[in-house]
Amino acid sequence: MNQTATTEQAGTGAQLELVDVVKQYAGQKAPAVGGLSLTVEPGETVMFVGPSGCGKTTSLKMINRLIEPDSGRILIDGEDITAHDPTRLRRSIGYVIQGGGLLPHMTVADNVGLVPGLLHWERDRTAERVDELLDMVGLDPHVYRDRFPKELSGGQQQRVGVARGLAADPPIVLMDEPFGAVDPITRQRLQDELMSIQEELRKTIVCVTHDIDEAIKLGDRILILQEGAHIAQYDAPETILASPADDFVADFIGSGSKLKQLTLQRVGELGLSHPQTCRVGEPVAEVVPRVEAAGERSVVVLDERDRPREWLFLRTLAQHRTVPAPGHALQTVVDHRSTLSDALDAMLVSSHGGAMVTGARDRYLGVISYDTVTAHIQGLQKEAL
């Protein structure tokens, strides 16, 4: 394990239980949430999906009492939190919203350190935690901690929002359409990052989304709700795809569920190849013979923290004396927990017929080739016949 992960290892998730929770807004004929009961196990990620207005957000916000339930009980590790002081409760549950919800007049560090500050953490401890979290969500603390939200891209703001939700190491994190406001490629990167963070932290995460593919990708279980927050199905994605409980669920997940298997299959489950690598700053005169001796025409460039920075043809590399550090962001990198459909997207912009694959903290693991993915898809298609 890496050196910065020590403080989070204790922070595993708590069990969350809703028992017959009801909410009816004034002036509404029927309850928005008409008696919802469910259990989320410690460390589990549960995705809430369902048609617009079915009560997803209301259900989520009752968990941290941003909305007060009319009746029912909400238990964290068996303890009824409806009796708790709501402000204290909200500090103990992480909350991530669309766009990040950052306070514009506060720096990135102050935004992330907000809840630790309210909990009276020592300043040094907060500062250390802020840097650790920025690093975890893929933002270099030295570059970003003193910036203001308006100096960040939408994806970066959302990353800060995720860091803020995790700052006080809460056992439960609620997310409301966390990646709804960013473009598809950024969204995919953020989803990948969340998966690798979750692999490390095992928080209990409840996340509302409109996107069934996102639910399939991120969820250990998916809660499909009908109007009034009535449960249509609550199961693992594989089960929902293979055996939808009824026509409502079948319609909701849509056609092409074989294709959705692609959304389920992870890059890390297929074989990776291991082409030659080199380091930023290494003399090109040493790299080229090594790569040529291996019979290869290109080389993966890693930085000092083992992160892939570039995938270069030798003819391009030969124009330099030392291996250069590219300034641009890479499109052809996928997390090992990314889905095959994400990998295919990344490969479409690659001239190497593949994508570089990373593990925890963006460390390089190997390369997945277009041929491996297409052979796998053909296998799936044969099985489906």
Ligand X SMILES: Nc1ncnc2c1ncn2[C@@H]1O[C@H](COP(=O)(O)OP(=O)(O)OP(=O)(O)O)[C@@H](O)[C@H]1O
Residue 50 or 116 with smaller CB distance to ligand X: 50
163 vs 253, beta carbon nearer ligand X: 253
Least separation, in Å, of the C-beta of 241 and ligand X? 22
86 touches 65 (CB < 8 A): yes
Using CB under 6 A as the binding rule, whether residue 29 contacts ligand X is answered as: no
Nearest distance from C-beta of residue 195 to ligand X, angstroms = 23
Q: What is the DSSP letter of 227?
A: G
Applying the rule CB under 6 A, the residues between 68 and 127 that interact with ligand X are: none
How deeply is 337 buried, as exposed, middle or buried, from its count of CB atoms within 10 A (0-12, 13-18, 19+)?
buried
Sign of the torsion angle spanned by Cα atoms 346, 352, 354, 356:
negative
57 binds ligand X (CB under 6 A): yes
Which of 25, 103, 118, 125 contacts ligand X by CB under 6 A? 25
DSSP lists the bridge partners of residue 45 as 205
The piece of 54-62, 129-137, 167-175, 187-195 that touches ligand X (CB under 6 A) is 54-62
317 backbone dihedrals φ, ψ, rounded to 5°: -60, -35
- Each residue 203-232 as x (binds ligand X by CB under 6 A) or -, in order, gives ------------------------------
Q: Which stretch binds ligand X (CB under 6 A): 55-63, 166-174, 254-262, 264-272?
A: 55-63
What is the DSSP pairing of strand 333-335 with strand 354-358?
parallel
Distance from C-alpha of 249 to C-alpha of 217, rounded to nearest angstrom: 17
From the number of C-beta atoms within 10 Å of its C-beta (0-12, 13-18, 19+), residue 129 rates as: buried
Query: With contacts defined by CB under 6 A, how many residues of the chain interact with ligand X?
Result: 11
| Residue 53 engages ligand X in binding (rule: CB under 6 A) | yes
Asked if residue 12 binds ligand X (CB under 6 A), the reply is: no
Contact 15, 40 (CB under 8 A): yes
Q: Which residues are near ligand X by CB under 6 A?
A: 25, 28, 32, 50, 52-58
